[in-house]
A and B are shown apart, each in its own frame.
Chain A
Amino acid sequence: MLRRLPHVDRVGIEERAALLGKRSIKTTAKAQGIRLAVSMVDLTTLEGQDTPGKVRNLCAKGVCPDPHAPEVPSVAAICVYPALVPTAVAALQGTGVRTASVSTGFPSGQTSLAVKIGETEETVAAGAEEIDMVISREAFLSGDDARVQEEIVRVKEACGDAHLKVILETSELGSLDHVRHASMLAMEAGADFIKTSTGKSTSGATPEVTLVMLEAIRDFTQRTGRVVGMKAAGGVSNTKAALHRLVLAKETLGDEWLTPDRFRIGASSLLNDLLMQHAKLESGRYGRSEDFSTE
């Protein structure tokens, strides 16, 4: 298959991303932005040592992040490994917080398509409402775009009503041209969201990668009319970084993307920094990290 890569200028992307990082978000805009960011968090635990107890604690935290500040919303979803989906589903029943799970041989994706489909079907059957799949970097880097797309199409079918986020694992793609190209492949194949990273690789949702993917979404949505969401995951660990991502979305796609339906932030440690910064705006002083439960 002939691959026609689009042109992305790395220097230009870096400049634009840096410029938007200079937006000064203060006072009411900061408080609003923080609450918005909380509502977009996919609160995530993806560790070998995860247990039902740990996941239940995390679900409680996600439903009510700051018991002292009722104006702080719930997070968007709790993201766990497939084995823990039933635990999360039970804990989140009736809360409005959704259960998300990774699938398709996460994080490397080095399993057969049959296994990927089977894993996805099983995870959806267990109650996951959102599936975060990984693309096959093996296929992408060897130039087999057709197989990358075929896998996404088949996993999307396996998802049924569950929504599909396609993880590009951008740090393994080698260039911003590839990030843009993989974004387009994923959207053409039916992704509901495109997502930067697994959080298991060397880097994640850098401002540059986030901007390239947002531009791809804008162009795809303008061309096809189909809305695709964005999930920035990996490395968004403090409030400043989260607000920077929101600015990137606002000034690339517009305010319509500033909703958990269209923008997510995959995170674990970010949430408490958001809560601490929010409390600081209310009280005028910085709290202690001990003021907020870690899970």
Chain B
Amino acid sequence: MAATDTPRTSLTWDYAPAPESADHVRLRDSYDLFVGGDWVAPTDGHRVPSINPATEEPIAQVAFGGEHDVAAAVAAARAAQPAWAALSGLERGKYVFRIARLIQERARELSVVESLDGGKPIREARDIDVPLAAAHFFHYAGWADKVSYALGGRASQPYGVVGQIVPWNFPLLMAAWKLAPAIACGNTAVLKPAETTPLTALLLAEICQEAELPPGVVNIVPGDGATGVALVGSDVDKIAFTGSTAVGKGIQAALAGTNTGLTLELGGKSANIVFEDAALDQAVEGIVQGIFFNQGHVCCAGSRLLVQESVADLVIRKLWDRMELLRVGDPLDKNTDVGAINSAAQLARIEALVDVGEAEGAHRQTVACELPERGFWFAPTLFTDVAPAHRVAVEEIFGPVLTVLTFRTQAEAIEKANDSAYGLAAGVWTDKGAKAFEVARALRAGVVWQNTYNHFDPTAAFGGYKESGFGREGGAAGVRPYVRVA
């Protein structure tokens, strides 16, 4: 029979488990600090296991640097800096290029370790994190001998030694965003990966060795907040930080009155604006991509959906249908869409804010998917009937939780989108070109995506307005924070 209401045969076609093999990964049992081109044991630090958030099993022991360790790393960077800066841009670019190639060669291993250490789906690590990390090194390899072209022809000097602190959501990619422009411009660097996700940065240290990067140009000192404080208080010429707004404010206060440079890439509560004339099915995909990509652990996540009231019911219904199809579970399974929450602490923060949302009277819907017993998990969640004053509409949740607000007119959409302490990113969904550009111009956000969301490219500048920080990473604009212009 042709289409009928009662199917002749009916079955459930489940995808069989498709786990990415981790057998090829050769992690050490324990990692030292990477200082001056060598692995050195911590002097005043300690060792901490890095945990797989999907299983709560330890993966490897990692040395966390203490104050002396940080000082030693900064000294190594200081010693290496004059010779590194004296190299021609062309020669520096070759090293950066070599790192990019080695990331590509070890892409499979890096992807698996990124997924194991951070809980993100292997598909994302494989298709986004690692290729983009390589792309950033390739991009800045090209800028190394063209720095003045990025500065409108002005002469410049590298800062010197830069301290770089990166978050746990895109560990390798954020290390690439920081290191590639820094060393391309002639700086040397001390990078502190996040305490819950240090492993791919340590593999990147191995890659620096393989690339025969001169010792001391890149130093990697894992650690927690205390290590970060030590790095901020050390003898560096500039700090580049990506992380929470609260910590960023602390760093800015600590550096006030010093001659230490600073760029901050902080939190967000980015508005994803869907107009009634948008391609709604694709907008729904963009909403999903905007908030459930990397479990919502994305500083520019489209966590505030602003949808025009005339299509709000339709969009929310389509969105909910789509959310129910999300495959939540084993991050190493190639078919997983949403992986594990990065840490117990982050899970607790998400749960606390979601409880607040319920208490405030917003309507909560959470996908009824089966979650693994061990590990840190949070099912995709939607809040409707939200008022702009609710905390879930204002505060960054940094998890797979979407807040839905409605608007009536274009002016109201812009006003609501800008009504935030943050200004990192925004999305605009409309089939009308003029409207898209009008709205984009009026939004106070560092990135505005039109009819897409969470797309990244090394040629495009990324950074915030207001409490989302200052300074830009990526493209020609990403050169500026790593040089002092004459």
A260 to B11, CA, bound (A): 11
User: Does A26 lie within 8 Å of B9, measured CB to CB?
Assistant: no
B10 contact set on A, CB distance < 8 A: 255-256, 258-259
Residue from B2, B285, B335, B451 in contact with A16 in the complex, judged by beta carbons closer than 8 Å: B285
Q: For residues 117 through 134 of chain B, which have their beta carbon under 8 Å from a beta carbon of chain A?
A: 123, 127
Which residue of B2, B16, B451 is within 8 Å of A229 (Cβ)? B2
**Contact string against A for B residues 395-415, beta-carbon threshold 8 Å, 1 for contact and 0 otherwise:** 000000000000000000000
A68 in the interface (beta carbon within 8 A): no
Q: Decide yes or no: A12 and B3 within 8 Å by CB, A36-B11, A251-B325 being known contacts.
A: no
User: Is A12 touching B7 in the complex (CB atoms < 8 A)?
Assistant: no
A7 within 8 A of B: yes
- The minimal Cβ–Cβ distance linking B293 to chain A, given in whole angstroms, is 12
Residues facing A in B1-17 (CB within 8 A) are 1-5, 7-16
Is the CB–CB distance between B285 and A259 below 8 Å? no
Q: Which residues of A contact B3 (CB under 8 A)?
A: 163, 192-193, 227-229, 261-262
Q: Mark B94-138, 1 if CB is under 8 A from A, else 0.
A: 000000000000000000000000000001000100000000000
Selected contact of A33 from candidates B4, B7, B13, B451, CB within 8 Å: B13
Query: How many Å lie between the Cα of A29 and that of B11 in the bound state?
Result: 12
CB <8 Å contact, B278 and A130: no
Question: Which partner residue on chain B sits nearest A260 by CB separation?
Answer: B8
Nearest Cβ on chain A to B388's Cβ, whole angstroms: 28
Q: Which residues of B contact A258 (CB under 8 A)?
A: 10-11, 13
Is A11 an interface residue, CB under 8 A from the partner? yes
Residues from chain B with Cβ under 8 Å of A13 in the complex: 282
Contact status B282-A27, CB under 8 Å: no
Taking A7-B280, A39-B9, A259-B9 as contacts, is the C-beta distance between A193 and B2 under 8 angstroms?
yes
- Among B389-447, those with CB < 8 Å from A are 431
The residue of chain A having its C-beta at the shortest distance from the C-beta of B122 within the complex is: A24
A27 and B16 contacting across the interface, CB-CB below 8 Å: yes
Q: Which residues of B contact A6 (CB under 8 A)?
A: 279
Contact of A255 with B451 at beta-carbon distance under 8 Å, contacts A9-B279, A163-B1 already known: no
Contacts of A130 in B (CB 8 A): 2
Complex alpha-carbon distance, A214 and B303, angstroms: 28
Say whether B7 contacts A261, CB under 8 Å.
Answer: yes
Interface check B281, CB cutoff 8 A = yes
- A16–B325 Cα gap in the complex (Å)? 13
B334 beta carbon closer than 8 Å to chain A: yes
Distance in angstroms between the alpha carbons of A28 and B17 in the assembled complex: 9
A12 surroundings in chain B (CB, below 8 A): 279, 281-283, 285-286, 451-452
For A288, list chain B residues within 8 Å (CB).
none
Instruction: List chain A residues, Cβ under 8 A from B13.
Output: 29, 32-33, 36, 246, 250, 255, 258
A163-186: which have CB < 8 Å to B? 163-165
B212 partner residues in chain A, CB cutoff 8 A: none
Q: Does A138 contact B (CB under 8 A)?
A: no
Least CB distance from B142 to A in Å reads: 27
With a cutoff of 8 Å between Cβ atoms, the chain A residues found around residue B16 in the complex are 25-30
Q: Does B344 contact A (CB under 8 A)?
A: no
Partner of A23 from the list B15, B283, B451 (CB cut-off 8 Å) is B15
- Tell me the chain B residues, 273-305 only, with Cβ under 8 Å from chain A: 277-283, 285-286
Give the CA-CA distance A246 to B5 in the complex, in Å: 19
Note all chain B residues with C-beta closer than 8 A to A28: 16
Let me know if A25 and B281 touch, CB within 8 A: no
CB neighbours (8 Å) of B87 from chain A are: none
Shortest C-beta distance, A194 to chain B (Å), equals: 10
Q: Is B18 an interface residue (CB 8 A)?
A: yes
Q: Does A119 contact B (CB under 8 A)?
A: no
A164 in contact with B2 (CB, 8 Å) = yes
Report the bound CA distance from A27 to B15 in whole Å. 9
Minimum distance in angstroms from B400 CB to a CB of chain A? 18
Identify which of residues 1-55 in chain A touch chain B, using a CB-to-CB cut-off of 8 Å: 6-9, 11-13, 15-16, 22-30, 32-33, 36, 39
Q: Does A122 contact B (CB under 8 A)?
A: no
Chain B residues, Cβ within 8 Å of A30: 16
- A215 on the B face (CB < 8 A): yes
| A123-159 vs B, Cβ < 8 Å mask (1 yes, 0 no) | 0000000100000000000000000000000000000
Question: Are A25 and B15 in contact (CB-based, < 8 A)?
Answer: yes
Nearest to A229 among chain B residues (CB) is: B3
Contacts A164-B2, A193-B3, A260-B9; A24 near B335 (Cβ below 8 A): yes
**Could you say which residues of chain A place their CB within 8 Å of the CB of B9?**
39, 259-261
**Cα-based distance from A7 to B284 in the complex (angstroms):** 13
Q: What separation, in Å, do the CA atoms of A193 and B334 have in the docked complex?
A: 33
Q: 5 shortest A-B CB distances, which residue pairs? A: A12-B282, A163-B2, A229-B3, A24-B18, A9-B279
The interface of chain A, by Cβ under 8 A from chain B, is 6-9, 11-13, 15-16, 22-30, 32-33, 36, 39, 130, 163-165, 192-193, 215, 227-229, 246, 250-251, 255-256, 258-262
Interface residues in chain B, defined as those with a beta carbon under 8 Å from any beta carbon in chain A: 1-5, 7-16, 18, 123, 127, 277-283, 285-286, 325, 334-335, 431, 451-452
21 pairs from A and B in contact (CB 8 Å cutoff)? A6-B279, A7-B279, A8-B281, A9-B278, A12-B452, A22-B127, A23-B15, A23-B334, A24-B334, A24-B335, A25-B15, A30-B16, A36-B13, A165-B2, A192-B2, A227-B4, A228-B3, A246-B13, A259-B11, A261-B4, A262-B4
Q: A8-B282, A11-B282, A260-B8 are in contact. List 17 more A-B contacts (CB 8 A).
A: A8-B279, A9-B278, A11-B452, A12-B283, A23-B334, A25-B18, A29-B16, A32-B13, A36-B11, A164-B2, A192-B3, A227-B4, A255-B13, A258-B11, A258-B13, A261-B7, A262-B7
